[in-house]
Amino acid sequence: MQYHIIPVTAAQQNCTILWCEQTKQAAIVDPGGNAAAIKAAVTKCGVKVEKILLTHAHLDHVGAAQELAAYYQVKIIGSEQADRFLFEAY
């Protein structure tokens, strides 16, 4: 397992890219913002995004989730269903 941490948003919240060294399949964890920086990091790491994982639905953890899910055509997994309205609003 490999990882790369990207500080995002003015709060410098940590977004993490996790991936399997063998398959290069990856997950983006808590993409709080700065979608362009996250996309650049994914490209630099040379991985294929398979999913987006959310630990919770605060803005600094989900701000770029919808944009990245659409860009990579992947599902968003995590956070409580009751929080869904929070990240769908961004």
**CB burial of residue 15 (10 Å; 0-12, 13-18, 19+):** buried
Q: Which helix (H) or strand (E) holds 33?
A: none
**Assigned token pair, 62:** 């989900």
pLDDT for position 39: 98
pLDDT for position 87: 57
- Residue 3 phi/psi, 5° resolution? -150, 160
Enumerate domains of the chain plus CATH numbers. Answer: 2-88 (3.60.15.10)
| Average pLDDT for 63-86 | 84
pTM metric for this prediction:
0.86
What are 15-71's pLDDT values in tens digits? 999 999 999 999 999 998 899 999 999 999 999 999 999 887 766 677 899 999 999
pLDDT for position 80: 65
Task: Tell which wins on pLDDT, 5 or 11.
Answer: 5
